[in-house]
Chain A
Amino acid sequence: DAGITQSPRYKITETGRQVTLMCHQTWSHSYMFWYRQDLGHGLRLIYYSAAADITDKGEVPDGYVVSRSKTENFPLTLESATRSQTSVYFCASSEFEGVTGELFFGEGSRLTVL
């Protein structure tokens, strides 16, 4: 089925561990994004990618690493998880058409860091 999927949907980990959140889209959209959502902050952009092998920082990139070797995949890695990274993470994709494009979101990955 076409769409955007995230895995895992739920993850509990401990401080200091490495965690990778996966994101896969089947539309071949050029743009992909990672957001985190916390109460009181709304959705904040962590990293985004305009195409394969092109990534850039968003508003809150510290502590995160991304890669995009294939158009359809955009994994997000927490190199050494901290409690402040407990959050809901949303991946999104879009085809940027001139100045606009609808964002399509995955269902979210709920991460708890103990």
Chain B
Amino acid sequence: RKEVEQDPGPFNVPEGATVAFNCTYSNSASQSFFWYRQDCRKEPKLLMSVYSSGNEDGRFTAQLNRASQYISLLIRDSKLSDSATYLCVVNMAGGSYIPTFGRGTSLIVHP
């Protein structure tokens, strides 16, 4: 079982739709969680960190569920420019920093 799992998609949604991705992780001792965005095999870039209390940045909302060991990303009012791959990243080890990536979820927003 992979340590960080994501549905690869693709998720095909029309502009204006709301779409949600989940990511599950296996190590209950994981300490920090992130969503990164990657465009067309370019370098990944941080979209947002995920805090226990949840956090929101404009149209994007991230949440953490430690009991069920998953994080989620909600995108409201999807734009064409949101089309990308969304990577879930979990810091797997306590005491050192070893970010582990999920395989990514592909989002395609169409007119």
Q: A40-B103, A58-B98 are in contact. Are A100 and B87 (CB under 8 A)?
A: no
What is the interface of chain B, defined by CB distance below 8 A to chain A?
Answer: 31-32, 34, 36, 41-46, 49, 87, 89, 91, 96-104
B41, A108: Cβ atoms closer than 8 Å: yes
The answer to whether B103 and A88 touch across the interface, beta carbons within 8 angstroms, is no
What separation, in Å, do the CA atoms of A108 and B98 have in the docked complex? 19
Q: Is the CB of B41 within 8 A of A37?
A: yes
The prevalent SS among residues of A at the interface is strand
Instruction: Supply 25 A–B pairs (Cβ within 8 Å), ascending by A.
Output: A33-B99, A40-B103, A41-B103, A42-B87, A42-B102, A43-B44, A44-B101, A45-B99, A45-B100, A50-B96, A94-B97, A96-B96, A99-B91, A100-B49, A102-B46, A102-B49, A103-B36, A103-B44, A103-B46, A103-B89, A105-B43, A106-B43, A107-B43, A108-B41, A108-B42
Chain A count of residues within 8 A CB distance of the other chain: 27
B97 and A96: CB pair below 8 A? yes
